[in-house]
């Protein structure tokens, strides 16, 4: 095979595949084609799975695209397909590339609109298929007891307010200065400083 026939990039079903990749691995770069599906395609077309994908001729590329787009016509069994008995058409389909997330979003949206149990679980962001949620599937941060500090914030100006910050530099405790008066501890500390 001459060097002119070798292609560094081969385009199959809208995907650019590098020519140095092996045939099976190159076909699995197409979203929707797995290793087994790629092997089945190469077996049907009698293409060497160990050769590089850059060695494919135009006829081979067209034959591969034909099998990928219409696998049932190429005698690939229906259980090999990734969307059997489509809910809208009832046909056996094999989805590729951007059709996969688009169809998935439509399926979830349909379940939400019909207000099915699966739809409610999707709306809430919870597990859909009956898994346990007590210990697994947590998405937020850790939940526990807050470390350090007070349990609840104390209001300023109250009779029982802690006045450790207000008694800077003075040796007298603020609780003794404000005992029974109800005055703020800061005012008592400034009065002591003036005297």
pLDDT tens digits, residue range 1-18? 444 588 888 898 888 889
Helix H or strand E encompassing 12: strand 9-12
- What CA–CA distances, in Å, run from 105 to 82, 92, 112, 131, 182? 16, 19, 11, 22, 64
* Residue 92 lies inside a defined structural domain of this protein: no
* Residue 81 lies inside a defined structural domain of this protein: no
Three-state DSSP state, 113: helix
* Count of structural domains within the chain: 1
pLDDT at 36: 92
* Residue 126 lies inside a defined structural domain of this protein: no
Per the model's pLDDT, the better-predicted residue between 62 and 180 turns out to be: 62
pLDDT at 187: 58
Q: Is beta strand 9-12 parallel, antiparallel or unpaired with respect to 15-18?
A: antiparallel
Model confidence at 194, pLDDT cuts 50, 70, 90, reads low
* Residue 105 lies inside a defined structural domain of this protein: no
* Residue 68 lies inside a defined structural domain of this protein: yes
Helix H or strand E encompassing 177: helix 174-177
The 10 Å Cβ neighbour count of residue 108 is 15
Torsion angle of the four alpha carbons 15, 18, 21, 23, in this order, in degrees rounded to the nearest 10: 40
| pLDDT tens digits along 76-133 | 888 988 888 988 888 888 898 888 999 989 998 999 999 899 998 888 888 999 899 8
pLDDT at 176: 46
What DSSP string runs through 15-35?
A: EEEETTSBHHHHHTTSTT--H
What are φ and ψ of residue 101, in 5° steps? Answer: -65, -30
CATH of the domain at 44: 1.10.8.50
Per the model's pLDDT, the better-predicted residue between 184 and 8 turns out to be: 8
What are φ and ψ of residue 10, in 5° steps? Answer: -115, 130
Per the model's pLDDT, the better-predicted residue between 195 and 40 turns out to be: 40
Task: Examine the pLDDT at 164 and tell me if it is beyond 80.
Answer: no
The pLDDT of 164-185, averaged and rounded, is: 51
Task: Examine the pLDDT at 63 and tell me if it is beyond 50.
Answer: yes
* Residue 106 lies inside a defined structural domain of this protein: no
The 10 Å Cβ neighbour count of residue 31 is 14
pLDDT > 90: what percent of the chain?
21
pLDDT at 19: 86
Torsion angle of the four alpha carbons 37, 62, 66, 32, in this order, in degrees rounded to the nearest 10: 40
CA distance 116 to 49: 45
* Residue 169 lies inside a defined structural domain of this protein: no
Residues 6+ apart with CB under 8 A from 59: none
pLDDT > 70: what percent of the chain?
72
The boundaries of the domain holding residue 61 are 9-76
């Amino acid at each position: 095979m001459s060097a002119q026939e070798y292609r560094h990039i081969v385009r199959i079903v809208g995907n650019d595949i590098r020519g140095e990749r092996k045939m099976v691995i190159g076909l699995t770069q197409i979203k929707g084609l797995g290793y087994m599906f790629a092997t089945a395609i190469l077996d049907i077309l009698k293409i060497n799975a160990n050769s590089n994908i850059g060695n494919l001729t135009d006829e081979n590329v067209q034959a591969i695209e034909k099998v990928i787009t219409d696998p049932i016509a190429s005698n690939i069994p229906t259980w090999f397909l990734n969307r059997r008995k489509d809910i809208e058409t009832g046909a056996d389909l094999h989805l590729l590339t951007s059709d996969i997330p688009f169809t998935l979003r439509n399926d979830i949206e349909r379940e939400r609109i019909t207000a099915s149990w699966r739809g409610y679980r999707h709306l809430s962001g919870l597990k859909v298929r009956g898994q346990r949620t007590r210990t697994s599937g947590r998405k937020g941060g850790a939940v526990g007891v807050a470390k350090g500090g007070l349990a609840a914030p104390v209001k300023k100006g109250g009779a029982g307010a802690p006045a450790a910050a207000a008694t800077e530099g003075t040796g007298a405790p603020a609780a003794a200065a404000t005992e029974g008066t109800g005055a703020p501890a800061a005012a008592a500390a400034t009065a002591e400083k003036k005297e």
